[in-house]
Amino acid sequence: MKPSEKTAQVTLVGAGPGSKDLITIGGLRALRNADAVLYDALVDLRLLEEVSDSIPKIYVGKRCGEHSLTQEEINSLLVAYAFSHGHVVRLKGGDPFVFGRSSEEIAHLESMGIPVKVIPGVSSAIAVPSGQGIPMTKRGVASSFWVMTATKRDGSFSEDLELAAKSLATLVILMGVRRITEIARKIGHYRGGLTPIALIQNGAMSNESCIVGTLNDVHSLFTSVDTSKPGVIVVGDVVCEHPSFFEEEVWRVLHSAI
């Protein structure tokens, strides 16, 4: 069938975090049936090998300080490729509805008469800490968790950060690596300095790293962190479940006493 004879449609697919193995069966099936793919920065590029070489694959990723296209330009590309090629897969890292601006894309596509399907993905907010042995909840420790971005569009801290810090919930903060010291200080106003914190970068990839400590340790812990790379910040007593938490804390206490 010629591209012009195909029905315009878009599927928003969550690729999951890091490894290509974390995409869902439904997401992989949609990807293999795509006539064009628009993919984000945090998508495992090996997933593109699931698509024929003849299929257009357009990078539309956004990273800190490196936006290839504006959201409006991405919206226009989705419409253009849907009308010219047929089935377009919009491949997003994690889950499409967790800070993915999917609602904006859906609204624009539907206003142009293009049907949209959403295939959820595994969110980095839960999967990445889980891969390090850090649960979101634990009986007698934490009965809920907040997932948030640290800052708003104008760069100020979200009110939710303060509200969550005042609670007993686990805090999961995305897109906050560059301001992790400020975040720790703000949370420390409401929780003790011995509150555990973890920073996980390159989640679910072969070069994944995880630093654990307490809010008191933030200044020394994260001095060598590459702030150009995204990460998942977890704050709360559940971080104690990380296999090396107590071992590293004991080492730091002994080292400071020498």
pLDDT, one tens digit for every residue, the chain (258 residues): 555 579 999 999 999 999 999 999 999 999 999 999 999 999 999 999 999 999 999 999 976 656 679 999 999 999 999 999 999 999 999 999 999 999 999 999 999 999 999 999 999 999 999 999 999 999 999 999 999 998 888 989 989 999 999 999 999 999 999 999 999 999 999 999 999 999 999 999 999 999 999 999 998 888 889 998 999 999 999 999 999 998 765 555 434 544
Catalytic residue among 175, 186, 205, 237: 175
Type and span of the H or E element at 90: strand 87-92
- Whether 239 is covered by a domain: the verdict is yes
Asked if residue 138 and residue 85 are part of one domain, the reply reads: no
Number of domains in the chain: 2
- The CATH number linked to 166 is 3.30.950.10
Asked if residue 97 and residue 171 are part of one domain, the reply reads: no
Asked if residue 144 and residue 85 are part of one domain, the reply reads: no
The pLDDT value given to residue 257: 47
Q: Of 55, 48, 160, which is closest to residue 99 (Cα–Cα)?
A: 160
Q: What is the DSSP string of 219-237?
A: HHHTTT--TTS-EEEEESG
Q: Is 205 a catalytic residue?
A: no
Catalytic residue among 6, 57, 62, 186: 62
- Whether 2 is covered by a domain: the verdict is no
Q: Is 62 a catalytic residue?
A: yes
Structure tokens at 32: 């293999």
Asked if residue 17 and residue 51 are part of one domain, the reply reads: yes
Asked if residue 140 and residue 226 are part of one domain, the reply reads: yes
Asked if residue 147 and residue 211 are part of one domain, the reply reads: yes
What is the domain extent for residue 96? 9-119
The pLDDT value given to residue 242: 96
